[in-house]
Amino acid sequence: MKTVPCDTKLLRQAEYLGAAHRPRDWLEDSGSEVAFAGRSNVGKSSAINAITGRSRLARTSKTPGRTQQIIFFRLDDQHRLVDLPGYGFAKVPRELQRHWQKTLQRYFAERVSLRGLVLPVDSRRQPTMLDLQMLNWCAANDLPVHVLLTKSDKLSRSAAMTALTQTRTGLANIPHLKIQLFSATRGTGVEEARQHIVELLGNSPMTRPS
């Protein structure tokens, strides 16, 4: 049975809870949480800030890959948002890249409180191979994903709608997937994203493959 939070006001209560470099530092695995993951420089931190209405909650930077820890944000005693390290062309040592790959694989495989993933993708580009790997892993584990086509303000209205249609067509085979246009700058799609995240937070625990 689902227990959905009352409304999106829950997201506006977000506050920094802690950061973890290793699994032993993770917050207690109880309640429910929704994670944000994505390629570096797609506007993940800006999306978190816009959705929570907190302009400085997640640290933004012009340097890709600034988030190098798992960051936990408290909504209330039972609900959290999680900011995962960006992937792609982040300029970090290869040893650290391998460490984070293993850590993230373990997070997705073991985190019982994880209810869904928000995946920002630049609306001006198609999902990358790394994005597709993430989506396929989520599909294999029945984890719902909500894709934000970010920076839609950089496109004309017709181009943005074309990008939305093309992405939906290209990812039509991925189950438990929703896709929307989003712009942290103009506020496009912010309320829609909030509604979906609240729904994800209310999901029942996912069943892990045996």
The pLDDT value recorded for residue 145 is 97
Contacts of 77 (CB under 8 A, 6+ apart): 31
Find where tokens 């936990």 sit: 72
Provide the 8-state DSSP code for 204: P
CA distance 80 to 13: 10
Residue 3, Cβ neighbours under 10 Å: how many?
Answer: 10
Coil, helix or strand at residue 134: helix
C-alpha 64/C-alpha 43 separation (Å) is: 10
**Cα–Cα distance measured from residue 78 to residue 109, given in angstroms and rounded to the nearest whole number:** 20
Nearest CA to 59 among 22, 88, 10, 16? 16
Residue spans of the chain under pLDDT 70: 1-6, 60-67, 88-92, 206-210
Residue 171 dihedral angles phi and psi, to the nearest 5°? -110, 20
User: Are 106 and 68 spatial neighbours (Cβ–Cβ below 8 Å)?
Assistant: no
Whole-prediction pTM: 0.90
Q: How far apart are CA 6 and CA 65, in angstroms?
A: 34
Of the chain, the percentage scoring pLDDT greater than 90 comes to 65
pLDDT tens profile 94-136 = 777 777 778 888 898 899 999 999 999 999 998 999 899 889 9
* DSSP label of 205: P
For residues 176 and 144, the answer to whether their CB atoms sit within 8 Å is yes
Chain centre distance of CA 210: 25
Contact between 121 and 153 under an 8 Å Cβ cutoff? The reply is no
For β-strands 79-83 and 32-36, DSSP reports them as parallel
